[in-house]
Amino acid sequence: MAYVLKINGKQHVIDADGDTPLLWVLRDVLQMTGTKFGCGMALCGACTVHLDGAATRSCITTIDSVGDAAITTIEAIGETEAGRKVQQAWLDLDVVQCGYCQSGQIMSASALLMSNAHPTDSDINDAMSGNVCRCGTYNRIRDAIKLAATGAKP
Amino acid sequence: MMPATADREDSAALSRRTFLKASVTAAGGFALAFAVPSRSGAAGPPQANTLNGFVRIDPDGRVHLTIPMVEMGQGIYTSHAMLLAEELEVKLETIVLEHAPPNDALYANPILHEQSTGLSASIRGFWLPLRQAGAAARMMLVDAAAQRWKVDPAKCTVKDGVIFDPSAKRSLAYRDVVQAAAQLKPPAIDQIKLKPPGKFTLIGTAPKRLEAADKVRGRTQFGIDVIVPGMKVAAIAISPVGGGKPKQVNQAAALAVRGVRQVVVIDEAVAVVADHTGAAKKGLEAAAIQWDNGPNAVVNSASIVAQLKAGSETSGAVARNEGNVEQAFAAAAQRFDTVYELPFLAHAAMEPMNCTVHVRKDACEIWVGTQVPTVTQTRVAALTGLPKDAVILHNQYLGGGFGRRLEPDGTLLAVKIAKHVDGPVKVIWSREEDIQHDIYRPYYYDRISAGVDASGKPVAWHHRVCGSSVVARFAPPLFKNGLDFDAVEGAAEPPYALPNILVDYVRVEPASITTGFWRGVGPVHNVFIIESFIDELAFAAKQDPVAYRRGLLAHNPRALVVLNLAAEKAGWGQPMPAGKARGVSLQFAFGSYLSAVAEVAVDAKGKVNVERVVCAVDCGLPINPGMIDAQVQSGIIFGLTAALRGAITIKDGRVEQSNFDSYPPMRIDEVPRIETHIVPSTENPGGLGEAATAIIAPAVTNAIFTASGRRIRKLPIEEV
């Protein structure tokens, strides 16, 4: 059967099995490749998107489980205030290296700031420890989240 | 900042365009020329990919810089662009970056003699040639302007791509003279005028990454993101035991999955081709593959270690033999003999292995992020029987490399599959396939011995490195007389005064496990051993580890400077609370000197928490301090992850680890604070992509010893 997904404010009709992970619908069917595949088991966070503003691992989220939830991806997160601030902070502190995990990092960080305008180190650990970065950009990620939250470099 | 592809441009634009070619030849010589490209006779590759050289200036003024090495997070696109832009006198933020096509004649790294991004050689290899390429281009542009004005070119000035005449009243932009400059003879290599370091305006500053804006918006195209019209995707299962073959494949069940188009069975793997990866993975599962494991199913970690241990008891190929080691041992006041072991390691780059291939009758087109484009092209030509120029390789941004993408195996496998597929196919490995079919960092079983005099100083030193040889497999001509130069790098030339030193190497190849380069290569294993052992000797001599090292460095001022700087910035010698301690390490590798001090807490149960790392770096003239700090952070976290818990183990011929649960990366909640202190220097730049990976493990294990009395001679630190 077909599924209707609301992605970045636009409706898409997807003709695929209901147990298809959202990640592959985004990447392969809709050719929105900003969301990344890393592990397939919700262990690395590279595939993080928002479902109604909550950080969600799209690699284990089947399309039949999404329902009416609004899906937001890295391609549109800059249209939200939190997303825009996070992306700017990422640029100001030159966070990225290879960049592959950074879509997921930015989605998790944006979701954190949407629900918690002034996260503590412990809040940052809780929200971000599901996102792996093999380049080791973690210290700049922490600083950039604080910069996005406060406007001041830590 | 997507690399431009000429197949998007019309031929009229191409014929109008003028190109500046500048090249380093494989032999390390330098050639530079302007040329107008022609599409005629160009077999296969689109125009932009057949360009030679580093610098191209469009008639509209856009400056394109082709970066010879690949960007995999190390920042080379920015640092190389800085070298070119410094001498070309253009604004960094206005340039367009392009991936280099495979071409050893143009893009070989002069140190590695091929177009490979590795061995932390990208800055060292191109420090001079890229500045020369930028300067030569600038001189030709200025000459063209000077001829138009009929003035002395030496009296013209240039700023941000605009040339001013001697009166500074008239000016011409590069785009206005590029056609005329194209007709000029390039300056001879000894006529190229480089800026004196005092005039640098870019080198030594910290501009941000040129590709960052795309990366934070999810717009950067990595290999895995390639989309080719008509493309299918494939999920693969590779024989879990090396040398095994598929015995039974339920093709009907796989084909019954919606979206599955084809099942491809080859010698060592099964691929399910589908419209999207979700269907391909589901089809692969439905195929319920059974394997004939073959003879390697009996291999276990224990049998490999026993094989290495036996090898370490035989003498090896001599890497260095100075003084009289035997006599020195006999005369020593005391002798220490130890064994150090380091495990197999996977690379686990965030972007899983992948490759897109379109095999046609007369050509093979490939889209992949690879550290070795020319090697890959050659190997694919051999595999397909096509001429090399019919193998068209489009390099991509790499979602991490760490040495994994120095191997063409993923591309060769994709080509074998694509040969059976009508049209382009993107083959994506699962994380499990990526970890279980890596080409692993060798397991090392090293013996190290020292004889010390009455004061505790080492007067005799013998280090025997024992492990598989990456070089013998990777570059056979460089494996000479049984010696793997990489396996002993860092061991053959420790920074310390060692009057009588013997370093030898025993090659032992474990069955069924292929080993390869892993970030930090030889030094990452040797530095751990030497720095741990030096610490053991310091404690045996009842001396402070920093003071003991200082006593062995009178001949090595740069090493002494970084050691002292790290110690000072870390507050070495200041008291620490119970259960916490500092540990130190020092190395010279990849042309750079590093010293690290780690602050580590060990709790009552032995759990280790690394809280702070201070790293002092002398990498010669610092090109971009921002990138240096990033590489120090990156290397330390990569090395620390491995030191704490990185291990690949083998059971019944299979790799036991499979995903980030069993091969756990370090996460944000456990990273230490890391401080980088750069030593000002005007020496030639050293490499830094891998150095910090090597420095960290011994700093941590030495701190653990001080904190808890536990001496770690076998990595990883945590139980596997």
| Per-residue pLDDT at B45 | 28
Q: Is 3.40.50.2300 the CATH classification of the domain at A2-72?
A: no
Are A16 and B215 in contact (CB < 8 Å)? Answer: no
Are A91 and B227 in contact (CB < 8 Å)? Answer: no
- The Cα B441–Cα B404 span in angstroms is 10
Q: Residue B10 — very low, low, confident or very high, per pLDDT cuts 50/70/90?
A: very low
Q: Which residue of B has its CA nearest to A48?
A: B218
Are B216 and A91 in contact (CB < 8 Å)? Answer: yes
Are A31 and B227 in contact (CB < 8 Å)? Answer: yes
Are B73 and A98 in contact (CB < 8 Å)? Answer: yes
The mean pLDDT value for B15-22 works out to 31
Are A35 and B218 in contact (CB < 8 Å)? Answer: yes
Q: How much of chain A, in percent, has pLDDT values that exceed 70?
A: 100
- In chain A, which residues have their Cβ closer than 8 Å to the Cβ of B429? none
Q: Where in chain A is the domain with CATH 3.10.20.30?
A: 2-72
* Burial (0-12, 13-18, 19+ Cβ within 10 Å), B711: middle
Q: Residue B13 — very low, low, confident or very high, per pLDDT cuts 50/70/90?
A: very low
| Per-residue pLDDT at B720 | 53
Q: How far is CA B8 from the centre of its chain?
A: 32
ipTM value: 0.98
Q: How far is CA B385 from the centre of its chain?
A: 30
Q: How far is B661 from chain A (nearest CA, A)?
A: 7
Let me know: does B7 contact B46? Beta carbons within 8 Å.
yes
Q: Judge whether residue B332 has pLDDT over 70.
A: yes
Q: Which residue of B has its CA nearest to A141?
A: B668
- The Cα B648–Cα B656 span in angstroms is 7
Q: Which residues 66-85 of A have a C-beta within 8 angstroms of B?
A: 73-75, 78
Q: Where in chain A is the domain with CATH 1.10.150.120?
A: 77-150
Are B660 and A39 in contact (CB < 8 Å)? Answer: yes
What average pLDDT is seen over chain B? 92
Let me know: does B4 contact B98? Beta carbons within 8 Å.
yes
Q: CA–CA distance from A99 to each of A78, A96, B309, B690 (Å)?
A: 17, 5, 41, 18
Inter-chain contacts counted by CB atoms under 8 A, chains A and B? 192
Please give the sequence-ordered ranges of beta strands (E in DSSP) within B323-390, or none if there are none.
334-342, 354-359, 364-368
| Per-residue pLDDT at B16 | 27
Cβ atoms within 10 A of the Cβ of A80, count? 17
| Per-residue pLDDT at B183 | 80
Of B73, B224, B275, Cβ closest to residue A97? B73
**DSSP β-bridge partners for residue B648:** B344
pLDDT digits (tens, 9 = 90+) for A12-46: 999 999 999 999 999 999 999 999 999 999 999 99
Q: What share of chain B is helix, strand, coil (3-state, %, to 5)?
A: 35, 25, 40
Are A129 and B669 in contact (CB < 8 Å)? Answer: yes
| Helix/strand/coil for B69 | coil
Q: Largest Cα–Cα distance in chain B?
A: 82
Backbone angles phi, psi at B410, to 5 degrees: -65, -35
B2 token code pair: 């997507």
For A77-150, give the CATH class: mainly alpha
Write the CB contacts of B506 (distance below 8 Å, at least 6 apart in sequence): B311, B312, B314, B315, B316, B317, B464, B465, B466
- In chain B, which residues have their Cβ closer than 8 Å to the Cβ of A37? 224, 277, 352, 428
- The Cα B711–Cα B708 span in angstroms is 9
The mean pLDDT value for B71-79 works out to 97
- The Cα B115–Cα B102 span in angstroms is 7
Are B668 and A142 in contact (CB < 8 Å)? Answer: yes
DSSP-derived secondary structure for B445-512: EEEEEEEE-TTS-EEEEEEEEEE--HHHHH-GGG-BTTB-TTTTTTTSS-SS--SSEEEEEEE---TT
- The Cα A53–Cα A43 span in angstroms is 20
Q: How far is CA B399 from the centre of its chain?
A: 12
| Per-residue pLDDT at B41 | 29
Write the CB contacts of B382 (distance below 8 Å, at least 6 apart in sequence): none
Q: What is the CA radius of gyration of chain B?
A: 27
Of A25, A41, A98, Cβ closest to residue B350? A98
Q: Which residue of A has its CA nearest to B349?
A: A134
Backbone angles phi, psi at B32, to 5 degrees: -150, 135
How many Cα atoms within 13 Å fall on the side-chain side of residue B636?
A: 33
Q: Judge whether residue B243 has pLDDT over 70.
A: yes
Burial B170-200 (b: 16+ CB within 10 A, else e): eebebbbbbbbbbebebbeeeebeebeeeeb
Domains of chain B: 1-220 (3.30.365.10), 223-294+353-428 (3.30.365.10), 302-344+440-719 (3.30.365.10)
| Per-residue pLDDT at B61 | 81
Cβ atoms within 10 A of the Cβ of B575, count? 6
Of A21, A39, A137, Cβ closest to residue B659? A39
pLDDT digits (tens, 9 = 90+) for B367-423: 999 999 999 999 999 999 999 999 999 999 999 999 999 999 999 999 999 999 999
Q: How many residues appear in chain B?
A: 720
Q: Judge whether residue B129 has pLDDT over 60.
A: yes
